């Protein structure tokens, strides 16, 4: 599984989520890209992309919970 974060969103909102997940799960790649082409969303709230789907939340802590739920659901 791969979780992608936008660098601009990391600077604005999601860096705590990125840091918490990076290296926590052996088989999950946590990557940062320079741009994920979600500029409107990027300016308003923390988000990441998992399997081509946007996962968004009001806070970095809630984003971690949503992403960990996705990690737990994988087959």
38-58 pLDDT, tens per residue? 999 999 999 999 999 999 999
| C-beta of residue 73 within 8 angstroms of C-beta of residue 30 | no
Q: What angle do CA 5, 27, 20 make, to 5 degrees?
A: 45
pTM for the model stands at 0.93
7-23 pLDDT per residue, tens: 999 999 999 999 999 99
Give the E-state strand segments of 1-75 in sequence order: 2-6, 29-33, 47-50, 53-56
């Amino acid at each position: 599984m791969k979780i992608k974060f936008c660098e601009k969103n990391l600077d604005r909102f999601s860096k705590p989520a990125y840091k918490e997940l990076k290296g926590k799960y052996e088989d999950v790649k946590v990557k940062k890209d320079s741009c994920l082409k979600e500029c409107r969303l990027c300016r308003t709230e923390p988000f990441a992309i998992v399997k081509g789907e946007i996962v968004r939340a009001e806070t970095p802590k809630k984003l971690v919970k949503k992403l960990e739920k996705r990690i737990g659901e994988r087959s």
